Amino acid sequence: MYESVIDTAPSPLVEAVEENLLGHVVLIQDRLPDMDVERRDGLVVVDSGLGVDTFNKILAARLAERDADARIDEALADVRQTGRPFTWWVGPCSRPVDLEARLRRRGLREQERELGMTIDLTKVPDQVPLPAATTIERVATAAQLADFASVLANLGDPPDRDIQHFFERAAEVVLVSECPMRLFVATVDGEPAAVSELFIGGGIAGVHMVATAEAFRRRGLGMALTWKVLDEGRRAGLTVGALQASAEGQPVYERLGFEPCGYFSEYGLG
């Protein structure tokens, strides 16, 4: 039997985690004129205009039982008409409570399930070991942003040019010092090796986009970049950190002190 990620009585902390995730997803598309965030009644549709579902999402569903089916059908029809790939994110606060079953009846399939995790920032270590010849810096220039994008784009084979284009466009948003999205890039001997993001929203420090280039894995870069985000959030006066962990990343986060708070699912439209 399929186990739903939806919680019938989510805690305020879980609600804050979802609010943070939503802010992370919509920020750049919301601020660029050639991208779109449509806030419908009880639903958010994010369209970057690019051919990569990393930046095209349906999420934050808070649909009433009485018209949920009609609203789902309308949203799916609209995004399919674009011809671009989209995914639908479902979290503990999604509604109606049988949303996942309704999506599966329409042919959507769960592509990924991640564990929501939180941490008390007052208990985060003052420091973690930094791998040899490694530096971690906040992205503050166009060149650093290009390095950040190249790490993400080169996770695929061939590299995804749409990811690079997205961050080229995002420069006017994320290079502003007071932006709630703060990007970090780790270099090893001067070569871009790994990245992470702090998103400040919902009153918490969200950890997003932790990724390491294949040639630099198993060196502790993911741990170091996650710690960097948490420490930055702590310095900003926040007391809670949160993230969505893959099965591979979960042991790393547990070693830092993260604890589970619920699951998130990503459904492909097919």
In the chain, where are the structural domains located? 12-115, 121-262
Span 200-215, mean pLDDT? 97
pTM assigned to the model: 0.95
What's the one-letter identity of residue 182?
R
Under 8 Å CB-to-CB from 53, ≥6 apart: which residues? 84, 85, 86, 87, 268
Give the whole-angstrom CA distance, residue 259 versus residue 118: 5
> In the prediction, which pLDDT does 202 show?
97
What's the one-letter identity of residue 214?
E
Q: What is the dihedral of CA 186, 192, 197, 198, to 10 degrees?
A: 30
Span 161-187, mean pLDDT? 97
Q: Integer distance in angstroms from the first to the last C-alpha of the chain?
A: 22
> In the prediction, which pLDDT does 252 show?
87
pLDDT digits (tens, 9 = 90+) for 83-119: 999 999 999 999 999 999 999 999 999 999 999 999 9
pLDDT tier for residue 248 given thresholds of 50, 70 and 90:
confident
Task: Look at residue 2 and tell me whether its pLDDT is greater than 80.
Answer: no
Where would I find the H helices in the chain? 12-31, 68-82, 99-105, 142-153, 161-174, 221-235, 250-256
Contact 51, 232 (CB under 8 A): no
> In the prediction, which pLDDT does 1 show?
58
- pLDDT over 90 for what percent of the chain? 92
> In the prediction, which pLDDT does 10 show?
96
pLDDT digits (tens, 9 = 90+) for 138-170: 999 999 999 999 999 999 888 899 999 999 999
> Which DSSP category does 49 fall into?
S
pLDDT tier for residue 27 given thresholds of 50, 70 and 90:
very high
In sequence order, the β-bridge partners of residue 241 are 119, 205
Report which of residues 143 and 131 the model is more confident about.
Answer: 143
Under 8 Å CB-to-CB from 203, ≥6 apart: which residues? 16, 238, 240
Q: What is the dihedral of CA 154, 53, 149, 125, to 10 degrees?
A: -100
Give the whole-angstrom CA distance, residue 178 versus residue 40: 28
Task: Look at residue 270 and tell me whether its pLDDT is greater than 80.
Answer: no
Average pLDDT, the chain: 96
pLDDT digits (tens, 9 = 90+) for 35-83: 999 999 999 999 999 999 999 999 999 999 999 999 999 999 999 999 9
Helix (H, G, I), strand (E, B) or coil at 98: coil
121-262 carries CATH number 3.30.360.10 = no
Report which of residues 215 and 2 the model is more confident about.
Answer: 215
